[in-house]
Amino acid sequence: MDRSDQKQRGASTSPENPAPLLSAGSAAVNASASPAPNAASHAANLRKEIRVWTRDLLIAIGLAMVIIVFLYQPVKVEGTSMAPLLSDQERIFINKFVYRFEPIQRGDVVVFWYPLDHTKSFIKRVVGLPGETVEIRQGVLYVNGKTVQEPYVPPQYEDSSDFAPLRVPKDSFFVLGDHRISSNDSRVFGPVSSQYIYGRAVFAYWPVDHFGSLESAEASSK
């Protein structure tokens, strides 16, 4: 938001040639009347600055609303399947257009329509890309036969169970919750088609102690 500096213009008066008998009176009249133009000019400038400031504020608010409505969407997280990154009832913003300009990547935290009920939305982390083979052995994730390090999954949230090798179909993604022992994810409902993925988690704004970028947290875990 731009902030305009208020400028004050000081008005000066030039002395007039006084008449012989009324010089004192004329000077008194001019001296007493001179503050009026100055005060009026100052008030006019102040009103102008207020109008400009108000206009800029309204434009900034309007642009912010357009960005939030059309580019970002506030959502509420329900459940603990993405803990510790996201907690139950946490409020975040998702970017709804990012995947129109760049591909979905491993490690992205995405929001998608639940494949078994399109009236519900889920949020999970992408671990398998189209054409890759995903497998879990005693809780360890393997992609194409290679171990994938997952620093975002705390030891107390690990699931030591197995998941048989599965090849991710074209235009689909294998997603898991970070809280592995408490997550309904692709191990249950299978890979998620890209057509159901409609956003990426980018920013947490509530509660205030979680305020900050989620993308930086994702990048540090990749």
Query: In the structure encoding, which two tokens stand for residue 179, read together?
Result: 């809280």
Instruction: Name the average pLDDT for the chain.
Output: 83
What's the confidence (pLDDT) of residue 38? 78
Taking only the tens place, the pLDDT of each residue in 183-195 is 999 999 999 999 9
Taking only the tens place, the pLDDT of each residue in 82-114 is 999 999 999 999 999 999 999 999 999 999 999
Rounded-to-integer distance, Cα 85 and Cα 91, Å: 12
What's the confidence (pLDDT) of residue 48? 85
| 3-class DSSP state of 193 | strand
Query: Among the residues of the chain, which ranges form H helices?
Result: 23-33, 35-70, 186-189, 214-221
The residue written with tokens 């004050």 in the block is 8
Taking only the tens place, the pLDDT of each residue in 213-222 is 997 545 444 5
> Active-site residue 81, yes or no?
yes
Taking only the tens place, the pLDDT of each residue in 23-51 is 333 344 444 445 556 777 888 888 888 98
Rounded-to-integer distance, Cα 42 and Cα 23, Å: 29
Query: In the structure encoding, which two tokens stand for residue 199, read together?
Result: 């956003």
Closest CA to 49 of 91, 79, 7, 12: 7
Q: Return the minimum-mean-pLDDT range out of 51-55, 61-65, 175-179.
A: 61-65
What's the confidence (pLDDT) of residue 27? 40
Query: Is 70 exceeded by the pLDDT of residue 10?
Result: no
Query: What phi, psi does 132 have (nearest 5°)?
Result: -85, 155
Active-site hit among 23, 32, 34, 124: 124
Active-site hit among 81, 172, 183, 186: 81
Rounded-to-integer distance, Cα 127 and Cα 150, Å: 9
Q: Are 8 and 42 in contact (CB under 8 A)?
A: yes
